[in-house]
Structure 1
Amino acid sequence: MKTLKQLIESKSKKLATVSPKDTVLHALEVMAQYDVGALIVLDGQRLAGMFSERDYARKVILQGKVSVYTKVGDIMTDKVISVTMNHTIEQCLAIMSEKHFRHLPVLDDEGLVVGIISIGDMVKEMISQQQFIINQLESYISS
């Protein structure tokens, strides 16, 4: 199975981020532009939080707020669990499953964000690995 570092390196190099000072409308535009369901929120270069479709639904729409006037920092998830390149994919899956997270920011050794992984990334990797094993077994059986 790929390491977390390999998985991050295989993804797009452009990380979709917003600032806590950006409006929710701007964050939604960025999400649409990158076709993602969650954004890293950076204060300078440091992780400030995450903003997701779920945050938007629960903290803007259901509370009757207006996305043009609401700041990301007012509704983002600021207590974020992150992982590092030293985590295994299995560890990331365990965190996601236990905490019911769909996305995890990935930090380098200095605490700077280098990427984001999603539950979809994890599932694709597991399917790919299982297909590889199936192919190996079929090859072994037929030879």
Structure 2
Amino acid sequence: MRISIIGGGTVTDDARETAAQTGRVVARRGHTVVCGGLGGVMEAACRGAKAAGGDTIGILPTDRRADANDYVDTPIATGLGHGRNALVVMNGDAAVAIDGAGGTLSEIGFSLVFDRPVAGLGTHEVRGVEACETPAEAVEYVESAVDG
């Protein structure tokens, strides 16, 4: 399964650690991380996934694959700016939202429009987003929502 990990490019140390833990859990459970490919939550999630032997895909807002963070295995350049947010969630089977601002909120919206289950870790309180306390709980939620 592919799990889109969405969240802010500029984050607190706590959000960065949550994202790294989430990436590790995703990889340990045999899933691939999909993200926006840049810094903050995206980089931390990819770093965590790589540390656990997982695969990562970065859907970039720019037209240069070289802009991806160092932990992205498969960079996909789009040149679409924030328009790529729809592609980030469409390329996952589910999403885990961590922290974030307006861009993350748009990704949550696209997730819900495209019928992707969404788990939230310290993110926007939106109907349809399952608030979770831990990365493991978030991944277990999206796994059960996809399988169920």
- Same fold per superposition (TM over 0.5): no
TM-score by length of 1: 0.26
Higher Cα Rg, which structure: 1
TM-score with structure 2 length normalisation? 0.26
